[in-house]
Amino acid sequence: MNKLNLSDNIIRLRHEKKLTQEELADYMGVTKASVSKWEKGINTPDLLLLPQLAAYFDVTVDELIGYESQLSSEQIRRQYADLSKDFATLPFVDVLKKIRALAHRYYACYPFLLQLSVLYGNHYMLAETEEERRILLQEAVGWCDRIVENSSDVGVCSDAVVLRAGLYLQLGKAAEAIEALEPSADPSRLAGQNGTLLVQAYQLSGDMEKARSYAQAKQYLDLLNLIGDAILALSLNENDIEYCEKTIQRITGIMELYHLEALHPNVAAQFQFQSSVVYAVNGREEEALAALHRFEKCVDKLLETEQIKLHGDNYFNQLDAWIDRLPLGSMAPRDKSFIRQNLRESLTHAAFDSLKGKEEFQRLVYRLTEGGGENA
Which CATH number do you get for residue 180? 1.25.40
Average pLDDT over residues 77-86: 92
Which of 16, 42, 65 is the C-terminal boundary of a domain?
65
Tell me, what amino acid is at 257?
L
Do residue 121 and residue 29 come from a single domain? Answer: no
Do residue 44 and residue 116 come from a single domain? Answer: no
Average pLDDT over residues 67-88: 87
Do residue 177 and residue 251 come from a single domain? Answer: no
Where does the chain have alpha helices with state H?
Answer: 6-16, 21-28, 32-40, 50-57, 61-65, 73-89, 92-105, 110-123, 130-150, 154-170, 174-185, 194-205, 208-236, 241-257, 260-263, 265-281, 285-303, 320-325, 336-346, 359-370
Within-domain flag for 375 = no
**Is it the case that residue 53 has pLDDT exceeding 60?**
yes
Do residue 44 and residue 97 come from a single domain? Answer: no
Within-domain flag for 376 = no
**pLDDT at residue 110 in the model:** 93
φ, ψ (nearest 5 deg) of residue 331: -75, 140
Q: Please state, in angstroms and as integers, the Cα–Cα distance from residue 29 to each residue in 8, 56, 59, 201, following that order.
A: 21, 13, 19, 57
Do residue 288 and residue 145 come from a single domain? Answer: no
Find out whether 297 and 261 touch, Cβ atoms under 8 Å.
Answer: yes
Whole-structure pTM value: 0.72
Do residue 200 and residue 298 come from a single domain? Answer: yes
CATH number of the structural domain spanning residue 57: 1.10.260.40
**Is it the case that residue 325 has pLDDT exceeding 90?**
no
Rounded Cα gap, residues 4 and 7, in angstroms: 9
Within-domain flag for 237 = yes
Q: How confident is the model at residue 264 (pLDDT cuts 50, 70, 90)?
A: very high
**pLDDT at residue 192 in the model:** 64
Which of 185, 209, 232 is the C-terminal boundary of a domain?
185
What range defines the domain where residue 45 resides?
6-65
Which of 163, 185, 207 is the C-terminal boundary of a domain?
185
Rounded Cα gap, residues 112 and 80, in angstroms: 9
Q: How confident is the model at residue 1 (pLDDT cuts 50, 70, 90)?
A: very low
Do residue 199 and residue 260 come from a single domain? Answer: yes
Q: Which of 227, 213, 332, 325 is nearest to 274 (CA)?
A: 227
**Is it the case that residue 79 has pLDDT exceeding 80?**
yes
